[in-house]
């Protein structure tokens, strides 16, 4: 019975597949003040990008030190992603906008994508994650 058990384990081991995962390091620079918090949303589809963080794949926030904030996401599956972030300088937990809907706090996106007469589009901010990756985003005010 013991040889059968060993053979069964070897066969099952051959069928097990563990999905490859990757790390994503993000450095956000150009933040003009260490006051407040930097909020970051990682999207794996265009749904809700960049305005609806509830639709994001992962959410996080971090401190700002000398105009820079850093983040790391581990165990991400291979795929297409885009990042959106904003500097909540006044600490009210949201991105403030003026009367015309234009942000009054700093914003950024992967690929340093910008929008024309609105926020950047997912297709301009997207990147493929198929290995451990590091990206840099520059905040715009």
Total structural domains within the chain: 1
Average pLDDT over residues 28-42: 98
**Is the pLDDT confidence value at 138 over 90?**
yes
| Domain span including residue 121 | 19-138
C-alpha 126: how far from chain center:
10
pLDDT of residue 75: 98
pLDDT of residue 2: 54
| Tokens found for residue 31 | 């933040």
CATH number of residue 70's parent domain: 2.60.40.10
pLDDT of residue 35: 97
Q: Which tens digits make up the pLDDT trace of 40-94? A: 999 999 999 999 999 999 999 999 999 999 999 999 999 999 999 999 999 999 9
Q: For the chain, what is the mean pLDDT?
A: 90
Domain assignment present for 63:
yes
């Amino acid at each position: 019975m013991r040889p059968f058990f060993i053979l069964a384990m070897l066969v099952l081991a051959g069928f097990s597949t563990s999905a490859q995962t990757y790390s994503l390091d993000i450095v956000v620079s150009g933040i003009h003040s260490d006051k407040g918090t930097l909020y970051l949303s990682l999207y794996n589809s265009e749904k809700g990008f960049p305005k609806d963080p509830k639709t994001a794949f992962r959410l996080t926030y971090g401190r700002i030190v000398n105009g820079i904030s850093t983040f790391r996401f581990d165990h991400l599956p291979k795929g297409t992603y885009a990042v959106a972030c904003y500097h909540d300088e006044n600490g009210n937990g949201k991105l403030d906008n003026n009367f015309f809907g234009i942000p009054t706090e700093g914003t950024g996106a992967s690929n340093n994508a910008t929008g024309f007469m609105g926020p950047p589009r997912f297709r301009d901010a997207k990147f493929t994650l198929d290995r451990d990756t590091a990206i840099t985003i520059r905040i715009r005010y």
